[in-house]
Amino acid sequence: MTLTNTASQLDRIADEKAIARLIYAYCTGIDTGQFDDTARLFEQGAWFLNPQTPFQGAEAVSRFLWENVITYDGVPGTRHVVSNIRTDVADDRASAVSRSYVIVYQTVPGATPQIIFQGAYNDRFARTDGEWHFVERHIETDGTGDMSGHLKAAQPAGSNSL
């Protein structure tokens, strides 16, 4: 292995670590009720709850979070647990794609901890002036539990709304 190859591999490891930190920052921001911090991650990007619902830029993401997420003493009582992060950095190190799994647990007053969401994050990133940032986050849902303690518009588990 040459010194150049070693340096290139170290650069890729550093890129993957910086991207993982962005993925974790998203989760931490929501879990701690720091919605504006979470939203700033999308200053140059878009957040897709589903393919038909993009929120472009920090202001749109922040507005959605503040208007829709239920908090208890300032926090939503959630724990986003991310695993199986796979990141592919482009050869020119200017962009990357990542996929990770997520399970969201929630504990709210008067209830036992439960899984409220299971899915995946499909992310695109770009590097500008040496700093990585989100370009897009697509949230893929595999299953949901009772989201009524998390999102204001969610229906309680077992409800028969039309």
Is-above-0.95 flag for pTM? no
**Cβ contact 88:71 at 8 Å:** no
Q: What angle do CA 106, 108, 113 make, to 5 degrees?
A: 45
Return the SS3 of 140.
Answer: strand
How many separate helices (H) and strands (E) can be counted in the chain? 3, 6
With a cut of 60, say whether residue 64 has pLDDT above it: yes
Q: Model confidence at 160, in pLDDT bands (50, 70, 90)?
A: very low
Of the chain, the end-to-end C-alpha distance in Å amounts to 63
Could you tell me which CATH class the domain 3-144 is placed in? alpha beta
The CA distance from 19 to 123, in Å, is 10
Q: Model confidence at 51, in pLDDT bands (50, 70, 90)?
A: confident
Q: How would you write 35-82 as a 3-class SS string?
A: HHHHHHCCCCCEEECCCCCEEEHHHHHHHHHHHHECCECCECCEEEEE
Q: For a pLDDT cut of 90, what percent of the chain falls above it? A: 84
pLDDT digits (tens, 9 = 90+) for 74-123: 999 999 999 999 999 999 999 999 999 999 999 999 999 999 999 999 99
Q: Model confidence at 5, in pLDDT bands (50, 70, 90)?
A: confident
